[in-house]
Amino acid sequence: MSLWIIAIILIIIVLIVWIVLMYNSLVSLRNRVKNAWSQIDVQLNRRADLIPNLVETVKGYAKHEKSVFENVTKARSSLMNAQTVQENQKANNQLTEALKTLFAVAENYPDLKASTNFQDLQNQLSETEDKIAYSRQFYNDTVLMYNNKTQMFPSNIIASQFNFTEAEFFEIEESARSVPKVEF
């Protein structure tokens, strides 16, 4: 009789230890997702901070391109006010499109393209874009690990019991997925 009691107690202890380990691993992964998102947020804010300087530099050369500057400013504001992953995605895509237009305008002004201030800002923005791309990749990899853990058996049992929900991936807009047409 005492052997059965010891076996039941051991099974209960193993089960409790397993639940604690699963729960802690889910918490750890959820915190990694939050950390990875904060890294993206840092880089998006860095880019947003560079944009006013870039706009002012271009304004000095291209005073009559008012709508371009307004679009960039509006897109930057949307990014700064975004709260969720989806809002950030949308605002980020709008800002990317607005910056493409801004750089297209800059192509029409040789003096601007030759400006060291403009070139420096363009380089900083390019470096920041690279950091954003890396941060997005790291975030999405972390989300994948977390989502796998919340969906795969047996950890999905613990995840559902303690309300661990799927995290959203940071995806690019469909129009950005298309290959640009190159003509010579």
Residue 153 domain-assigned? Answer: yes
Q: Please report where in the chains the tokens 């919340």 appear, as a residue.
A: 150
Q: What is the length of the chain?
A: 184
Q: What is the pLDDT of residues 48-85, one digit of tens each?
A: 888 888 888 777 777 667 777 788 888 888 888 888 88
Domain count, the chain: 1
**Domain span at 42:** 35-172
Between 21 and 170, whose confidence is greater? 21
Under 8 Å between Cβ of 26 and 150: yes
Query: What's the pTM?
Result: 0.73
Query: Residue 183 domain-assigned?
Result: no
- Cβ(27)–Cβ(75) below 8 Å: no
How much of the chain, in percent, has pLDDT values that exceed 90? 37
The verdict on residue 29 lying in a domain is no
